[in-house]
A and B are shown apart, each in its own frame.
Chain A
Amino acid sequence: MPPVTELPKLNGSNLRPLAVGLPPMSLEVQARQTDAGVTVLAPSGRLDVAGAPSLKDAVTEAVKNGPRVVIDLEGVSFVDSTGLGSVIAALKLVRSSKGDLRLAAPNQQVRVVLELTTLDRVFPYFATVEEALTDF
């Protein structure tokens, strides 16, 4: 198999699931704000090619209220490379606003993917949301 270049990904607006046979948008995101002004986003479902745009939208909204964000991954059953991309985009966005991002409660599959991609060095993750909040 010859070595090659990066596969370009479609952006969210092009990913009309019906056009390519993917399931409809598969991620719901709940948001709440702590007394300390940290936004906790709790996505629920698959953080994949179909779900990633929902997280991106939620982070964009959250940063309007403050640049410190925790993503509670307890409800995320599966992450793929596009989902990871949305987390990296979130990190860039909060840091550009002089804030920061913490990940909490990833399941085994999410931890494995973070480790495979060495993104566990970029994203310190915490067992619980409470632990993530105390790290700010």
Chain B
Amino acid sequence: MKTVYCRPKCMKEAHFHYCPGCGHGVITRLIAEVVDEMELRDKTICVAPAGCGMLLYNYFDIDTIESAHGRGAAVATGIKRVRPENLVFSYQGDGDLAAIGTAEGFHAANRGELISVIFVNNGVYGMTGGQMAPTTMLEQVTTTSPAGRDSVLQGHPVKICEVYATLDGTSYLERVAVNKPAAIIKTKKAIAKAFRHQQQKTGFSLVEILSPCPTNWKMSPLDSCRWVDDVMTKVFPLGLIKETKKC
């Protein structure tokens, strides 16, 4: 008998607190798999966000530090500058990186800090009950945009990857999704690539992951996976946005 798939070694036995069908669970697992495969369990430091991913330290059996809301990139900068031999990544949602932490993320990218950011984009503030986020799409209904997001009143969705691509400090930016098996495999490769960019000191790397949020989108898990393909990828096109050097 051959084991084809089992739990990654750098995950603890704790059960996830995420809602059924949430993309966070897949992303957490993929990071653990990449860390296992790169054999960096002892050298990796994770910076956990405020938001749905805040309990990451319960799931990862790697060193994890909790940052203040939105300050993940700033905390990761500090750790990386003090301990350049470690692999440092921050895990941030759209409320964390694109709203309250805009300055920290943007300027860490502009300085070309040698950190990786895993940016989970689900278009809403998940943990607080599905309010409108900067990444909410036009006409998307949330609890604070019940008639749908209106560009006149509430502005346009923020495309973090495209904004960061204009900065000289960034070396690797890719947008991926976790809504179907092929996309999940691509996401894992993108995370591994971001970590390799960090190891080779090419600059700031960020992977934006479109992740389903069935509870706050008020859909079934399967419908939310389809909605990522049908609606979200039209606004946030998948693919490699920027890579300065092949890694």
Chains A and B belong together in one complex? no
A residues lining the B interface (CB < 8 Å): none
